[in-house]
Amino acid sequence: AQRVTQPEKLLSVFKGAPVELKCNYSYSGSPELFWYVQYSRQRLQLLLRHISRESIKGFTADLNKGETSFHLKKPFAQEEDSAMYYCALEGEAGGTSYGKLTFGQGTILTVHP
């Protein structure tokens, strides 16, 4: 069965420091990977998806199929980045997990001034 693991429940950094939120997955195929974010008093929302290969709010994530990882990175953290971050996986088309997301446990990021 597919699985998404975020090993860090809590992560604290200071403003301006680099930040990396780890995500590892297990899936026997070619998944699509996503990062979702929930800011305080806001809804859970998509931050970025690997297929888009874009940088959102300074965040990037690279899919490493060899290490089955999809870590989220930002070179200079800002206080407004403080939030709960979820890594998520969707199975490939035709598979049983296509069309639904499996989420990791979430990482609470706190950026201190």
Partner 1 sequence: DADVTQTPRNRITKTGKRIMLECSQTKGHDRMYWYRQDPGLGLQLIYYSFDVKDINKGEISDGYSVSRQAQAKFSLSLESAIPNQTALYFCATSDLLGTGVLYFGPGTRLTVL
Q: Does 30 bind partner 1 (CB under 8 A)?
A: no
Q: Does 9 bind partner 1 (CB under 8 A)?
A: yes
The beta strands (E) that lie in the chain are given as 3-5, 10-14, 19-21, 24-26, 32-38, 45-49, 60-61, 72-74, 83-90, 101-103, 107-112
Q: Return d(Cα 18, Cα 3) in angstroms, integer.
A: 27
**Which span (15-23, 62-70, 72-80, 96-104) binds partner 1, by CB under 8 A?**
96-104
Q: How far is the CB of 41 from partner 1 (least distance, A)?
A: 10
Which residue, chain included where needed, has tokens 């990175």? 73
Q: Which of 24, 68, 78, 106 binds partner 1 (CB under 8 A)?
A: 106
Q: Does 72 bind partner 1 (CB under 8 A)?
A: no
Compare residues 22 and 78 and give the one whose CB is closer to partner 1.
22
